[in-house]
């Protein structure tokens, strides 16, 4: 009996990969580009908006990259 191998190209992206990558994009893009305390406010409440120097912790941590990547900042 002769066994043959065939390579098939499957372009369809599994839905789990689509969801995972879109979630990764949305979360990372928001975290570095726009967060002012919203993410931590889920657990910390309103205090998350003024953790460091009157602004959110993530804002201060991502501050330099936020400017360098062209996102609005202050």
Partner 1 sequence: MKTLTFLIIVIVSGFLAGLVHSFLNIALVEPYLDNAIGIENQRLFAQGQAQDNPQFWKQFSDYRIWQKQGSIVAGVILGTATGALFGLVFAYSRNALPGQNDVQKALVLAGILWAVLYFIPFLKYPANPPTVGEPDTITFRAITYVAFVALSSLGAFGFSRIYKRLENKKFLAFLGYAIFMSIVFFVMPQNPDPIKVPLELVNGFRMISAVTVTISWITNALILGWLWKKFQPDSVVTRT
Taking the CB of residue 44, how many other CB atoms lie within 10 A of it?
Answer: 14
Please say which residue, 33 or 41, places its beta carbon nearer to partner 1.
33
What's CA 68's distance to the chain center, in Å?
17
The torsion region of residue 53 among left (phi > 0), alpha (psi -120 to 50) and beta comes to: left
Where do we find the tokens 């992206």?
13
Task: Compute the least distance from the CB of residue 9 to partner 1, in Å.
Answer: 5
Closest CB 27 distance from partner 1, rounded Å: 7
Output 25 or 47, the one with its CB closest to partner 1. 25
Q: What are phi and psi of 52, to 5 degrees?
A: -135, 125
Q: CB-wise, 47 or 69, nearer to partner 1?
A: 69
Q: Which residues bind partner 1 (CB under 8 A)?
A: 3-14, 16-18, 20-22, 24-29, 31-34, 36, 60-74
């Amino acid at each position: 009996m002769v066994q043959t191998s065939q390579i098939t190209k499957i372009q369809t992206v599994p839905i789990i990969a689509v969801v995972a990558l879109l979630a990764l994009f949305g979360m990372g893009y928001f975290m570095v580009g726009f967060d002012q305390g919203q993410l931590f406010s889920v657990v910390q409440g309103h205090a998350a908006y003024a953790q460091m120097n009157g602004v959110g912790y993530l804002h201060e941590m991502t501050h330099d990259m936020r400017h360098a990547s062209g996102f609005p900042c202050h």
